[in-house]
Amino acid sequence: MAKAAPARAAEPDRSTAVSRRPSHRDGGTVKRRRILLWGGAAAGGAALWWVGSNPRGFTLGPPQLVPPLLRTRIGEEERLLVLTRRTEQEIPGPLALSAPELGERVELRGFAAADLRPLFVSPLVSQGRGQNPDMALLGEQAGTVWLHIGGIGAASTVDGRLLADSPGLREINPILQGRMPTARRAFEMDAAGLLVTATDGTRLRIDPRRFTASAGPATGTTSRPVPAVLGLPPARYPAPVWSTRSPPFRAAELNLGTRWLGLVRARHGDARSHLEMGTAMVRLEFSQQRTEPMRLWSGERTAPGAGVPGNAPAAPVSGAQAGQKQPLPSSASAVRQGAPAPSPSAAGGVERLSGLTPVEIAGAKEGLFDAGFLALPHASESVAFRFEDTLGASGLLLYRTAPATTAAPLRLARLDAAGRVLWDTALPIAEVSAVVPGASNLILAGPLPASGGARTAPSSVALIAVEPSRGAVAAFDLGAERPITL
């Protein structure tokens, strides 16, 4: 583990240092106090140290992604922020008597959301290897990123540098003296910002600009967004990263008004009679399989009576995950959520499909493998979302033209309401493990494939930016710290 000088309780030149940074509001500059004591913090019985207190050199391993992912904005620029951890070993001096201890460094990385161009790498913490497995980004507000690494910390969205730590927050907030929590569950984000539950149960709100504490809402109550007159924008929330072999980013069907696109097992052949049983059967069969090849069908949704909920216009997505809290900028090209088809309908009876026709995808003679409409995971089901821009309403289909074991690439196609392919592109990842929608594009994350379709080491994770109108893809290999040539 990296070593550091003993904690110093008072260093006026550092704890009161002023940093000047671009404002997220008007592009100007604002003064920002860095509330740091630059000391060690006990976490799990071992010491961790804020990087910056030890200037000695280190040998570093490849970065590994620490979920979740956080999309935010500075002025007109959208950014993607991620935490990474990497092995860290001090370079021994000429008189060293023993090999240096192997530790771990935690970094905050910033990327331009448009093309995943790296903007900064900010070392935050040196700690024991594998320490603080629950570390995470909590959210962002007013240019401050809240994170938890064995305790609460705050960093700048501009350059990633650390702005505040637990000892510093205690120093300027007497109410936290002797009551500052360390457990991850004591810190949460709501629309109004960061909430801290002190060790005595008191709930406090921390200002993201001045880092001062004030009374928070009572336990079990929901805060309203901070009024605009206070100058604080709503908080932004991270998008989860799923580690399961079959993450819930695939949906069986896509609804665009009364038009329907759905995936049916290829072994059904002419599936018209099968589909006439209704959309519930499609969803049921889809949920029970992940390896069989599928066929794409299109049709019209019909239901008895009027006012069928599934035919209503889709509402804009309000989260990076359906059911999650992720404010997204509004835009004509923003991702929108498609409403699931009701079965049975609110008017009574079961929703039916008519005018059914098969849709052929080029190169998929044997069917579509690992197929599904790209979805935002919902509390109860994966609901396909849709784009609405100059190309009209459409959705995204994930698929392979052959089983993954044949090294067939994962592909992403944009389909209109008739099932026509607007664009089709290969993705340099083996699986989608995170979906981060935004105003200008869609960001995906997932493990890189290895030869033969096998999964690679955890450090081999790629970030993907997909431009929705043309399907242009930019990719970044996080472990190798370089762009991927496509």
The pLDDT of residue 247: 65
Q: Which residue positions in the chain have pLDDT lower than 70?
A: 1-56, 96-99, 220-230, 244-247, 276-279, 281, 287-290, 303-351, 378-381, 451-459
Give tens-digit pLDDT for 290-305. 678 999 999 998 764 4
HSE (side-chain half, CA atoms, 13 Å) at 224:
2
> Phi and psi of 170, rounded to 5°?
-65, -35
Q: Where does residue 174 rank: exposed (0-12), middle (13-18), buried (19+ CB within 10 A)? A: exposed
SS3 172: helix
Same domain, 19 and 133: yes
Query: Where in 75-192 does DSSP place strands (E)?
Result: 77-90, 102-112, 118-128, 136-141, 144-148, 152-156, 162-165, 187-190
End-to-end CA distance of the chain: 38
Q: What is the DSSP letter of 35?
A: B
Same domain, 78 and 216: yes
Q: Is residue 241 part of a domain?
A: no
Same domain, 77 and 159: yes
Domains identified in the chain, total number = 2
- Assigned token pair, 262: 């759905």
Q: Is residue 5 part of a domain?
A: no
Residues 364 and 359: their CA atoms lie apart, in Å, by 11
Q: List the 187-190 sheet strands across, edge first.
A: 187-190, 193-197, 203-206, 213-215
On whether the CB atoms of residues 149 and 126 are closer than 8 A, the answer is: no
Same domain, 218 and 362: no
On whether the CB atoms of residues 419 and 356 are closer than 8 A, the answer is: no
Residue 218 Cα distances to 202, 213, 396, angstroms: 8, 15, 42
Is the Cα torsion angle 433, 441, 311, 266 positive or negative in sign? negative
- The continuous run of DSSP H or E covering 358 comes out as strand 352-359
Residues 104 and 87: their CA atoms lie apart, in Å, by 4
Angle formed at CA 82 by CA 80 and CA 83, multiple of 5 degrees: 165
Same domain, 379 and 289: yes
Q: Is residue 421 part of a domain?
A: yes
Same domain, 288 and 154: no
Same domain, 259 and 191: no
Q: Is residue 3 part of a domain?
A: no
Q: Is residue 254 part of a domain?
A: yes
SS3 85: strand
Q: Which residue has the tokens 């962002």?
A: 140
- The continuous run of DSSP H or E covering 372 comes out as strand 369-377
Domain boundary among 230, 265, 284: 230
Whole-prediction pTM value?
A: 0.79
The pLDDT of residue 267: 83
Range of the domain at 294: 250-483
- The continuous run of DSSP H or E covering 357 comes out as strand 352-359
Same domain, 295 and 334: yes
On whether the CB atoms of residues 330 and 439 are closer than 8 A, the answer is: yes
On whether the CB atoms of residues 62 and 72 are closer than 8 A, the answer is: no
Q: What is the DSSP letter of 252?
A: S
Q: Which residue has the tokens 């052959």?
A: 402
Instruction: Provide the CA 102 distance to its chain's centre, in angstroms.
Output: 30
The pLDDT of residue 282: 75
Same domain, 196 and 322: no
Query: Where in 390-460 does DSSP place strands (E)?
Result: 392-400, 410-416, 421-427, 434-437, 442-447
Same domain, 177 and 273: no
Same domain, 38 and 186: yes
Same domain, 206 and 353: no
Residues 36 and 14: their CA atoms lie apart, in Å, by 7
Give tens-digit pLDDT for 172-202. 999 999 999 999 999 999 888 999 999 999 9
Q: Is residue 397 part of a domain?
A: yes
Angle formed at CA 457 by CA 454 and CA 463, multiple of 5 degrees: 95
Q: Is residue 457 part of a domain?
A: yes
Q: Is residue 377 part of a domain?
A: yes
